[in-house]
């Protein structure tokens, strides 16, 4: 199990390359123009909602949003190659921000990508592998698709197309907006090819779950938390915060980096109880549908070893009705009376299991 308990250690701040903030501005500005979305806002990790009722309230800390820049940056560098220590590949800054070309740092880790996964098609269908990674590993702000049943993936994109699946966040959330725009402009044949491809990939360990009372003070880079340079700590409280241990690798879309999810002490054991016994009855047990190790049964998806932030967002989406397709109906009944603390516990336990 990928679990650690630590109540006192500090975490070093992640180092950014010169121009990282500039790159955020360009990426956000370009995509906002494409989709007509509102400007994103900054949400500090300390500004946490402590709501623990079963009402349809979505805490802001579940959806870290990039800060909006106020000055125009220089163009992206299209000449200087950038590298990762774990790859022989190289990409320029401009290439790493091209939504129609999935940066493939580890081409031997997956089978041959269909064109829709590798490149998408301009001007509206972005490369599936850009956000979800060429091998389907995903990141905290979007889904890990590797190993999910193809039929399940197709059902979800159908719900995105029809409006039956949306983000639980009440404002603009760019990763979801990009997904919706892409699937609307993707053909059924392309969606089938992408679903079959991602279903055939293997999910690798992607997150460490750490129980801790205090966490590094943070800022937001690429819709995920990173430790700031202050070295200060703050109370975690009743939150689940998933950090990129290296902001540069996160920004450069390294699909071999493991994220760190901080959860309240005792979350994993409480989540195990929910998974095995249910929140209010055995019929609500996660294992009754997702299997004893939460690795899925038939068309029911595996949730073991996946991003706990992503799992938590989906639980909130079920509860708020943001996910209302046929596949969502059983889950809406399960989470109806589950408060945010129980959702954190269930997500922490599922993420702690090996994929």
Query: Which residue from 45, 37, 50, 49 is spatially nearest to 64, judged by alpha carbons?
Result: 45
What residue has token string 């975490």? 11
Q: What is the pLDDT of residue 53?
A: 38
Quick check: bond before 9 cis, omega within 30? no
> Strands 259-263 and 207-211: what pairing?
parallel
Q: What is the pLDDT of residue 4?
A: 57
DSSP, res 236: -
Average pLDDT for 265-272: 98
pLDDT in tens, 286-345: 999 999 999 999 999 999 999 999 999 999 999 999 999 999 999 998 999 899 999 999
E strand or H helix at 308, and its extent?
A: helix 308-320
pLDDT in tens, 141-178: 999 999 999 999 999 999 999 999 999 999 989 999 99
Neighbouring C-beta atoms of residue 312, cutoff 10 Å: 27
Q: Give the predicted TM-score (pTM) of the model.
A: 0.85
pLDDT band at 273 (very low <50, low <70, confident <90, very high): very high
Average pLDDT for 283-287: 86
Query: Can you list the alpha helix ranges (DSSP code H) found in 200-303?
Result: 247-251, 267-277, 287-290
Apex CA 176: angle with CA 212 and CA 103, to 5°?
A: 85
DSSP, res 238: S
pLDDT in tens, 192-217: 999 999 999 999 999 999 999 999 99
Q: What is the DSSP string of 149-198?
A: -HHHHHHHHHHHHHTSB--SSSS--HHHHHHHHHHHTS-HHHHHHHHHHH
DSSP, res 284: G
pLDDT at 37 over 60: no
């Amino acid at each position: 199990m990928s679990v650690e308990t630590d109540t006192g250690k500090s975490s070093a701040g992640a180092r950014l390359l010169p121009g990282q903030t500039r790159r955020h501005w360009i990426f956000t500005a370009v995509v906002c123009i494409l989709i007509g979305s509102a400007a994103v806002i900054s949400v500090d990790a300390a500004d946490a909602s402590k709501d623990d009722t079963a009402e349809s309230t979505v805490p802001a800390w579940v959806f870290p949003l990039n800060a909006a820049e106020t000055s125009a940056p220089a163009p992206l560098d299209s000449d200087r190659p950038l590298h990762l220590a774990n790859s022989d590949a190289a990409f320029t800054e401009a290439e790493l921000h091209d939504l129609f070309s999935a940066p493939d740092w580890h081409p031997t880790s997956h089978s041959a990508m269909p064109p829709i996964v590798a490149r998408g098609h301009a001007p509206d269908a972005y490369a599936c592998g850009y956000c979800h990674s060429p091998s389907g590993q995903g990141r905290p702000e979007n889904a890990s698709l590797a190993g999910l049943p193809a039929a399940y993936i197709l059902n979800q994109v159908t719900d995105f197309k029809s409006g039956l699946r949306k983000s639980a966040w009440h404002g603009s959330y760019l990763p979801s907006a990009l997904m919706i725009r892409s699937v609307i402009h993707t053909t059924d044949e392309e969606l089938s090819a992408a679903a079959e491809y991602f279903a055939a990939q293997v999910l690798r360990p992607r997150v460490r779950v750490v129980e801790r009372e205090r966490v590094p003070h943070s800022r937001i880079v690429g819709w995920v938390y990173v430790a700031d340079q202050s070295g200060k700590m703050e109370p975690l409280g009743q939150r689940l915060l998933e950090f990129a241990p290296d902001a540069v690798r996160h920004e450069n879309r390294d699909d071999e980096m493991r994220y760190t999810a901080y959860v309240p002490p005792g979350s994993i054991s409480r989540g195990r109880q929910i998974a095995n016994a249910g929140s209010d009855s055995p019929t609500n047990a996660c294992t009754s549908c997702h299997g004893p190790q939460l690795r899925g049964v038939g068309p029911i998806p595996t949730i073991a070893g996946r991003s706990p932030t992503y799992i938590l967002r989906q639980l909130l989406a079920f509860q708020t009705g943001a996910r209302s397709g046929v596949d969502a109906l059983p889950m809406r009944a399960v989470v109806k009376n589950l408060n945010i603390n129980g959702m954190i516990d269930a997500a922490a336990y599922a993420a702690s299991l090996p994929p």
